[in-house]
Amino acid sequence: MKKTEFRALSVQEVVELLRQPAPTLVLFHARPDADAVGSAFALSLWLRAMGSEAYCVCADEVPQHLAFLTKGLQESVLVDTVPAHLVDARVVSVDTASPGQVGALFERYGERFLLMIDHHGTGTPYADHLVLPKAASCGEIVFDLIAASGVDVPPRVSELLYAAIASDTGGFRYSNTTEGTHLRAAALLRSGIDAASLCRQLFETKQLANLRAEKAGFERLHFYDGGRVAILTFPYELQQSMGLAEENLGTLIDVARCVAGVEVAAAIRGTKEGSFRASLRANVDFDVAAVAACFGGGGHVRAAGATLTADTIEQAEQMLYDTIMGRRGTTHGETP
Ligand SMILES: [Mn+2]
């Protein structure tokens, strides 16, 4: 029978569970970011240090700009590269809040999840879980698990965790950054990693194709509510005509978010399936996860995402705008 009730586990319980050697697939969310990749590979190296065979798997390949993180560890994370003897392994997920984020692999592994380790406040548990919404990144939780285990891990783990933590805090700039974030980062620095090099690769290097996408996206940036709400749209036809990959559109949201005066930002891109993928960010105390939840999505209070069903991208933009404004209550201030 399908299990529908799941238990919340403590850090210590998870350590004891994972200390028992067993072949393990470490799964992370589709369209992976550095927290997902860093947390998953750090967890798999820790599992190996405790005598388990481990392999990282994802519905999507690690994007090109994060390939430096996995270099020399695994050639690919796609499911058809899982070694035959690990096909029936237990499955542990990191940074993956709901079945939707597992993506195309949920059908395959849905019944086999031993555990989910995550830091998203909104989500739909699909296994026994360690979910700590106060953690700025899943990397912080994996850091704590490794520390609690007292197991010696290879130096590469420090790099992976630092990248995970730095990434989800926007380089220690976002409001989710806590004293605990810095303390963990300090411990990782103490192990001798080249943090400046990691940060340059994470934050100061962009694919030329991303910059081309940002330039085109900037032309399609609309401001509302006196410049407090910014929404950028990027139709799938435009992506195709420019020869851009999906991963080249990941920084569009930053174009909308970084403009002075913007409080809530969104980037909507068309997909080849005909739906519309929205990323949402808040620069002020406004819950974009609640906006995303109206469309079946989720995320964090200040960073969330959802997939919208609409006939046109203009209609998707209108739906998102209406929902944002509905949750912001009566508009304040006057239009310039
Ligand atoms: Mn994360």
Q: What separation in Å is there between the alpha carbon of 161 and the centre of ligand 1?
A: 11
Q: Which residues in 21-45 are b (16+ Cβ under 10 Å) and which e?
A: eebbbbbbbbbbbbbbbbbbbbbbb
Residues 97 and 193 in one domain: yes
Residues 186 and 220 in one domain: no
- Count of domains forming the chain: 2
Q: What separation in Å is there between the alpha carbon of 138 and the centre of ligand 1?
A: 5
Q: What separation in Å is there between the alpha carbon of 32 and the centre of ligand 1?
A: 9
Q: What separation in Å is there between the alpha carbon of 171 and the centre of ligand 1?
A: 13
pTM of the predicted structure, to 2 decimals: 0.85
Span 237-254, pLDDT tens digits: 999 999 999 999 999 999
Q: What separation in Å is there between the alpha carbon of 275 and the centre of ligand 1?
A: 24
Residues 159 and 255 in one domain: no
Residue 298: predicted pLDDT = 87
For residue 333, is it within any domain? Answer: no
Residues 80 and 213 in one domain: no
Q: What separation in Å is there between the alpha carbon of 36 and the centre of ligand 1?
A: 6
Distance of alpha carbon 223 from alpha carbon 89, whole angstroms: 49
Residues 16 and 160 in one domain: yes
Q: What separation in Å is there between the alpha carbon of 334 and the centre of ligand 1?
A: 37
Angle between helix 195-203 and 179-190 (nearest 10): 120
203, 227, 250 - which closes a domain: 203
Range of the domain at 219: 208-328
Q: What separation in Å is there between the alpha carbon of 331 and the centre of ligand 1?
A: 32
Q: What separation in Å is there between the alpha carbon of 89 and the centre of ligand 1?
A: 24
Residues 26 and 172 in one domain: yes
**Spans of the chain below 70 pLDDT:** 1-3, 330-336
Residue 300: predicted pLDDT = 87
Residue 183's CB: how many other CB atoms inside 10 A?
Answer: 12
Residue 2: predicted pLDDT = 59
